[in-house]
Structure 1
Amino acid sequence: LANYFIKTFPEKAAAGTLSAVVAYDSRRYSDVFAEATALIFAANGFKTYLFTGLRPTPELSFAIRTLGCDTGVVVTASHNPPQYNGYKAYWNDGAQVIEPHDEGIIHEVNAVTEVKTIARDQALAAGKLVLIDKEIDEPYWAMVASKLFRPELIREKAGEVKVVYTPLHGTGAMHVEKVLGDLGLTVITVPEQKNPDGNFPTVSYPNPEEAAALKMAVELAEKEKADVVMATDPDSDRFGSAVPGPDGKFVLISGNQMGALLADYICLSRKELGKMPEKPAIIRSIVTSSLGDRIARSYGVETVECLTGFKWIAAVMAEFEATSSHSYIFGYEESYGYNIETEVRDKDGISAAALCAEMTLYWRSKGKSLLDRLNDIWTAQGYFHDKSISKAFPGAAGGQTMKNLMAKLRTEGLTQIGGVRVETIRDIKEGKIYAPGNSASGKPTGLPPSNVLQFFLEDGTTVSARPSGTEPKIKFYISCVVDSGNGIEAAKKAAERKIAAIETDITSILEKA
């Protein structure tokens, strides 16, 4: 990474003005790997900032932009199982690297024959290693608070909402407790999951998308009669939640549902408070439900699609700024990632928690719960039901099996799924949109190439096939929509029947792979 930046910015390298910032999460040896990374940067002439303790991924992105660094690294495996660790590399805009820089960096990795490093004390004495903490923490917390729409409502009504929170043994506790506590909210953190622990002793998979990961928080919330459960993953970029249903039992809110709720609340608030900018836009990934598109349209807001991964949302944000084509107001993914601020160029579970708390209070002041508002949205826009199906293909042989499966889907195609005709196919890898059996012609997708196939059915359902970028598995995303004119319950049942039929077909495809 250091070599790539030295070659990419030779004048800065020659002047000794390159800089980097390094953060880490609670996983095993993350602190050791982070210090090793920082000392390699320092030995290569970078002024290197290193956090003195574990920090959330979004704060690393914020730090790059605040300190004016050329690059940054956070040592984390995010939401993945305990046996993993990982490494996220960032560009000078605070976003994770994308093409062509990703390939350039890997080329340099493969060319390394020796590693230059320096002793910690020597780096500190030379001013090449600078330890940081509150000088970034405090501006970050202030920035998160500044993005709220109704601070006066929170000050007035904060005592009416009780939050149960779990950081899932990760980086979030200090930050979520600080931000929500300063707002006056009552926050009860799950005691068994509060302390950072890379072994994740209470969960096998510290992912807020998984019901099992929120089990202890939900049990505590039911005991405490809390209004909302909040969870962040180990590096606090993802945000999960649950709220009580009509029977008092907690209901998990999916990533698509929370994205829709936040999109609605942001648009509503900006319009109501006169804060809607010119040419406002929301960015979502291609495998995220299009419910947000309908919501945005109802407020006169455009939705722009991008590839899966928040680095692509950040790339579109940068494009907006460079061209003045749109004003960014929100970005999100179905995988529990949300961003409400341009100061961070990655998903941010801390700011999502703060805005979710405010949104909960706002709808409470209107006599509604988040589920009530979701039902309002479904009534107005149609009932959306989403499900993902995945299958692991471990090892080199598994990787080849996934390649073969995607190739087969491209060459043989699908004319119907779940008994419904496929109207259009969007092949992101080949860069074209076409009708089944007519791949020779078609219009361009307007997206960078990526190994994703999408099938748009005549009833409005979308089925997307995509090999995971971080795990040895292939994933099918199903998003179906049903008219809600006969009521939400009837629409739910109809959607479940559709999903079941589609799931049968996809399971058959996976079994034959």
Structure 2
Amino acid sequence: MDYRVKYEKWLDFDEETKKELLGLDEKEIEERFYKELEFGTGGLRGVIGAGTNRMNVYTVRRATQGLANYILNCGAENPSVAIAYDSRLFSDVFSREAALVLNANGIKTYVYKELRPTPMLSFAVRRLKATAGIVITASHNPKEYNGYKVYWSDGGQITEEHAEGILNEISKIDYEDIKTMDFDKAVFDGLYRVINDKVEDEYIELVKGLAINKCAIVEMGKELKVIYTPLHGTGNIPVRRVLNELGFENVYVVKEQEKPDSSFSTVKYPNPEEPEVFTRAIEMAKEKGADLILGTDPDCDRVGVVVKNNEGKYVVLTGNQTGALLTHYILSQLQRAEKMPENPVVVKTVVTTELAAKICEDFGVEIVDVLTGFKYIGEKIKEFEENGDKNYVFGFEESYGYLAGTFVRDKDAVVASSLICEMAAYYKSRGMSLYDGILEIYEKYGYFKEDLKSITLKGIEGSQRIIEIMDMLRNNPPLSVSGIRVVKSKDYLQRIERNFITSERHDINLPKSNVIQLVLEDGGIVTARPSGTEPKIKFYFATAGKSLEDAEDKIEKMKAEILDLIK
């Protein structure tokens, strides 16, 4: 359908939508209506506004009608859906609208009474034995965005099979065909229900139960000073509650960032990967003499960590550094306590540090690589449980996502925050900081360094440019990068690994994904991956050196040459 025809139809939806649309120029009208907001394997994510290519009440209802149809077609007995939402603009509205569409289709909903972290939605799906789950969030995206993520009955994000099935149902739906119902009637009929506090209490107890070295908490819980910022999001209540009940008595919250705020007024992006979000927390840390700063993103599934270096300066750890620290800490403490399970496994993504593999090798623990996206780690947990042959111990990705335990099937910043504080207490009991800890790991296993460069390419032209870049790397890759020969390429879309030295080809036993990796002769890796939720292409760089300075120099040369190549 021509974008203009869609635009004209939307003018009749409601007066507020009409007013917004009439104020647009022709280019913006085309941008908003040239396609439907894409429903990917994670669901929807987009800029808030009127139009088929935007996040709004109508696109949320349409996606939910498709989900309802899919659930009913699956023949689930007494189907139900758990729903949570974060602090973003319209998150509460979108969550209620989604619930009422499901209710109108005879599907019960269980909705958190207030904003809550994404991992608590994953837990609620499992705890309530729901057919599926929805969380309204755009994670760490700018304030203009919101999103809609779908989970299945195992508590993990939907697989490609479910996503394709839901998308197929959505594609059949006209906006006029969507069912909805009155809120009061949905409540009266017992279709719209509020998740009770008992579910949250059980979650908190399970998080606390993940503590491995409680002696370190008893010894240092009263001395360790922690600054925490929820970045205007959902983490404030559960993170502080867990830390308090575990025995960490000196946890200070950044007041200006404590309350939910859909405009994220103190930061440009509410993303703990951005060092700028910690400006206020670092000022507070200097005043308090803090050992540690934690910052969680709006839906509290990612956590960033700031520690003092040897010069007394507060520095932000990378997701790979925090993940390596947690991997080593968890494995060492399980081994010390003689609690290591049989056939233990750590799971990481293909763009996450190879330092984790070195650590696992040292402890005799298997490490498994999966595609980028924490849902693939969740899938492995399910696979291990169903097969009964392996035991999940820990999983992480470089983008600040971590998970221990199996009662949640997505990255969990509440879990991670508690373990990071426990780990900091352990190192403090040894007279060390977490910065000392990562240096100790580097000295033992090698100086690994990673970096990420995201390039934003918006609109129709940007989408085409991203396609061209991936085609070039796939079909005409460089022979060398920063003077180091490229010896392999791994094409996760074609699922083929090519060795340029031996001309051998091997199948890659992972699902299809539009990812290209170039492996250098010295072990360095360059990975290109278009974002599935943002108008970006991401380049991941990884290497190891003889020292931190050597590794840094290698990374900078790799980055400069690749970025020059794609220009």
TM range (shorter): over 0.9
Aligned to 1:328, the other structure's residue is in SS state strand
Mapping of 1:327-476 within 5 angstroms? 327-436=391-500, 441-476=504-539
Which 5+ residue runs of structure 2 have no aligned equivalent?
1-63
Aligned to 2:149, the other structure's residue is in SS state strand
* Partner of residue 149 from structure 1, selected from 205, 212, 235: 212
Q: Post-superposition shift, 1:437?
A: 8.0
Counterpart Cα distance in 2 of 1:403 and 1:98: 24
Most deviating of 150-159 and 64-73: 150-159
Mapping of 1:51-70 within 5 angstroms? 51-70=112-131
Aligned to 1:277, the other structure's residue is in SS state coil
Superposition misfits of 4+ residues, deviation over 4 angstroms: 1-13
- The answer to whether the 8 A contact 2:65-2:178 is kept is no
* Partner of residue 564 from structure 2, selected from 505, 508, 513: 508
Counterpart Cα distance in 1 of 2:202 and 2:214: 18
- The answer to whether the 8 A contact 1:414-1:436 is kept is no
Counterpart Cα distance in 2 of 1:333 and 1:109: 31
Residues 197-246 of structure 1: CA deviation (Å, up to 9, x unaligned): 00000001000000011111111111110110000000000010101112
* Partner of residue 116 from structure 1, selected from 137, 157, 179: 179
- The answer to whether the 8 A contact 1:222-1:249 is kept is no
Q: Which position in structure 2 is the counterpart of 1:487? A: none
Is 1:189 matched with 2:250? Answer: no
Is 1:131 matched with 2:131? Answer: no
Is 1:35 matched with 2:35? Answer: no
Counterpart Cα distance in 1 of 2:553 and 2:309: 23
Q: Which position in structure 1 is the counterpart of 2:305? A: 241
Counterpart Cα distance in 1 of 2:422 and 2:239: 13
Q: Post-superposition shift, 1:12?
A: 4.5
Q: Which amino acid aligns with 2:454?
A: S
Aligned to 2:146, the other structure's residue is in SS state coil
Most deviating of 211-220 and 256-265: 211-220
Q: Which position in structure 1 is the counterpart of 2:232? A: 169
TM-score by length of 1: 0.95
- The answer to whether the 8 A contact 1:170-1:197 is kept is yes
- The answer to whether the 8 A contact 1:24-1:76 is kept is yes
Aligned to 1:61, the other structure's residue is in SS state helix
Q: Which position in structure 1 is the counterpart of 2:384? A: 320
Q: Post-superposition shift, 1:333?
A: 0.2
Counterpart Cα distance in 1 of 2:388 and 2:478: 40
- The answer to whether the 8 A contact 2:68-2:107 is kept is no
Q: Which amino acid aligns with 1:48?
A: T
Counterpart Cα distance in 2 of 1:195 and 1:390: 29
Q: Post-superposition shift, 1:414?
A: 1.9
- The answer to whether the 8 A contact 1:413-1:437 is kept is no
Aligned to 1:85, the other structure's residue is in SS state strand
* Partner of residue 552 from structure 2, selected from 496, 499, 510: 496
Q: Which position in structure 1 is the counterpart of 2:266? A: 202
Q: Which position in structure 2 is the counterpart of 1:488? A: none
Counterpart Cα distance in 1 of 2:502 and 2:139: 41
Residues 101-146 of structure 1: CA deviation (Å, up to 9, x unaligned): 1121112122123111121111111111111241221111111000
Q: Which position in structure 1 is the counterpart of 2:343? A: 279
Number of aligned residue pairs: 501
Aligned to 1:424, the other structure's residue is in SS state strand
Distance 1:72 1:2, change over 3 A: farther
Q: Which amino acid aligns with 1:85?
A: N
Distance 1:10 1:429, change over 3 A: closer
Is 1:104 matched with 2:165? Answer: yes
Residues 136-175 of structure 1: CA deviation (Å, up to 9, x unaligned): 2111111100011122431332111010000000001011
Counterpart Cα distance in 2 of 1:100 and 1:70: 15
Counterpart Cα distance in 1 of 2:221 and 2:548: 34
- The answer to whether the 8 A contact 2:70-2:166 is kept is no
Residues 345-377 of structure 1: CA deviation (Å, up to 9, x unaligned): 000001100000000001111222111111111
Counterpart Cα distance in 2 of 1:203 and 1:259: 25
- The answer to whether the 8 A contact 1:451-1:466 is kept is yes
Q: Which position in structure 2 is the counterpart of 1:178? A: 241
Is 1:20 matched with 2:81? Answer: yes
Most deviating of 65-74 and 212-221: 212-221
- The answer to whether the 8 A contact 2:100-2:180 is kept is yes
- The answer to whether the 8 A contact 2:490-2:516 is kept is yes
Counterpart Cα distance in 1 of 2:111 and 2:294: 29
- The answer to whether the 8 A contact 1:77-1:84 is kept is yes
TM-score by length of 2: 0.86
Counterpart Cα distance in 2 of 1:291 and 1:404: 32
Counterpart Cα distance in 1 of 2:480 and 2:196: 55
Most deviating of 35-44 and 196-205: 35-44
Aligned to 2:411, the other structure's residue is in SS state coil
Counterpart Cα distance in 2 of 1:282 and 1:104: 31
